[in-house]
Amino acid sequence: MNFITNILNTLGWYPTIFFLMLLESTVVPVPSEFVVTPAAYHAASGSLNVFLVILFATLGADIGASINYFVALYVGRPVIYKFANSKWGKMCLLNQEKVEKSEKYFDDHGIAATLTGRFVPVIRHLISIPAGLARMHYGKFLLFTTIGAGGWHSVLALLGWYLHAIVPEDQLNDKISEYAEYIKFAILGLIVVAVVYFVIKRKLNHKQEKSA
């Protein structure tokens, strides 16, 4: 992962953050943990602005997700599956099963999946595909994507800022891997709780409407 940090240092942090997060939101497996977190780590020392780190990361995610959305909208499911199963798809660590998994997540959670999906590994960079296939309103898609991506990047930025106070830079990548796992499990737990809450709330509202 030092390779990514070297790219960030060589090409400039903000434009590289934008570009890498654009790639992550398409089909290229760029780990956002090792882009945003090191950037926030350096921001804690005063060499970068942490708010600009989050902004450029989120803008990149918006553009990348929009590319996926419009490709899915216009080319359709058969072409998406064909690419996922192709040599190029496999080079991007993509396959039809992963696309279908993202579609199921979207079907199970509705349009809010474009927000919550930004916090879920694997689903994160593919959730815009089922949104395009379902012809979700682009304004809502972009709003939910921005909130979800901004929230995820804020979590990673907080992690980087925190690690700056306790970890030397040569141990940063190992600590990111360790803490990222904790964060993933915590977020998945929160999503499950939120989904259960809204399902129960919807059922209760439905019962009240029937009894009224």
84, 98, 114, 149 from 36: Cα distances, Å? 27, 24, 20, 12
How many of the other CB atoms lie within 10 Å of CB of 40?
A: 25
Tell me if 69 sits within 8 A of 128, measured CB to CB: yes
pLDDT score, position 69: 93
Task: Look up tokens 């209760």; give the residue.
Answer: 204
Angle at 58 between CA 56 and CA 64, to 5 degrees: 105
The confidence band for 7, taking pLDDT boundaries of 50, 70 and 90, is low
Is residue 197 predicted with pLDDT exceeding 80?
A: no
pLDDT at res. 84:
83
Please choose, from the candidates 80, 56, 78, 85, the residue with its C-alpha nearest in 3D space to the C-alpha of residue 70: 80
Q: Which pLDDT does position 11 carry in this prediction?
A: 66
Handedness of CA 142, 144, 147, 153 (dihedral sign): negative
Rounded to whole angstroms, the Cα distance separating 60 from 205 reads 39
Return the HEC string of 84-128. HCCHHHHHCCCCHHHHHHHHHHHHHHHHHHHHHHHHCCCCCCCCH
Whether residue 195 is predicted with pLDDT greater than 80 in this model: the reply is no
Range 186-199 burial, b when 16+ CB lie within 10 A, else e: ebeeeeeeeeeeee
* Residue 165 contacts residue 44 (beta carbons within 8 Å): yes
What are the pLDDT digits (tens) for 125-147? 788 888 888 888 999 999 999 99
pLDDT of residue 187: 63
Q: Is the pTM of this model over 0.85?
A: no
**Tokens describing residue 144:** 């939910």
Distance of alpha carbon 70 from alpha carbon 80, whole angstroms: 12
CA neighbours closer than 13 Å in the CB half-sphere of residue 181: 5
Q: What is the pLDDT of residues 79-118, one digit of tens each?
A: 888 888 888 878 777 888 888 888 888 887 777 778 777 8
User: For the segment 23-53, what is each residue's pLDDT rounded down to a tens digit?
Assistant: 989 888 788 888 999 999 989 988 889 999 9
Question: Is it the case that residue 67 has pLDDT exceeding 90?
Answer: yes
